[in-house]
A and B are shown apart, each in its own frame.
Chain A
Amino acid sequence: SAVISQKPSRDICQRGTSLTIQCQVDSQVTMMFWYRQQPGQSLTLIATANQGSEATYESGFVIDKFPISRPNLTFSTLTVSNMSPEDSSIYLCSVEAVEGTEAFFGQGTRLTVV
């Protein structure tokens, strides 16, 4: 298994500002993923972040809005830029030790934009 530390656990932000969410894993992993869970909804994949390459974004998500860094095999950040109330969600980091194996999740970042 993998232990994932995600920071911050929650935040309340003003519209128009940006928030960077950190994800730290206790072991080296190949695949890291960022998900969004809007209120009352299930999880939607934002992007896949592999070390040493640009993140791959899903349809409806763009790099200018959700820039991602993956500087090494244990760490990644997701920035939510120029926030609006519609960005209020839980953002979750997920890892797989090897592609296609069991997925593990962090505790999430609950973001409220006012």
Chain B
Amino acid sequence: KQEVTQIPAALSVPEGENLVLNCSFTDSAIYNLQWFRQDPGKGLTSLLLIQSSQREQTSGRLNASLDKSSGRSTLYIAASQPGDSATYLCAVKGSNDYKLSFGAGTTVTVRA
């Protein structure tokens, strides 16, 4: 069974600092990996999707890397803003069952 771990569980940084969020997974047989943002009490917003054959994806201030062999992905958010405050979830889709396995998330607070 795929286990997804996100470290740290919470992070508080001053505005302007770069954010580094880590995701690790136990089974390297993945189809893709997706990063989501969740605001309190709300649904999930897709941020980046990385296919298993890719090493990284970029969208604006966001960059996500994937090292499938070591079971790791990192989400970088450059020049953080208070609006980036949210919980960030990592989800891995298995290549055998195409089901998403979620991490517990990293809750980010960006202080103005």
Contact = CB atoms under 8 A, between A and B. Distances in A.
Contacts of A45: 99-100
A57 interface: no
B46 A104 contact: yes
Main secondary structure on chain A at its contact with chain B?
A: strand
A99 B49 CA distance: 14
Interface stretch (B14-22, B28-36, B60-68, B73-81): B28-36
Nearest to A45: B99
Contacts of B32: 100-102
A4 B42 CA distance: 13
**For the side of the interface on A, what is the size category?**
20 to 34
**For the side of the interface on B, what is the size category?**
20 to 34
A110 B49 CA distance: 26
Nearest to A93: B43
Given A43-B89, A99-B98, A103-B100, A6 B43 contact: yes
Interface in B54-100: 89, 91, 93, 98-100
A42 B100 contact: no
Contacts of A104: 46
7 contacts: A43-B91, A45-B99, A45-B100, A100-B98, A105-B44, A108-B41, A108-B42
List the 3 shortest-distance A-B pairs measured between CB atoms, nearest first. A105-B44, A107-B43, A108-B43
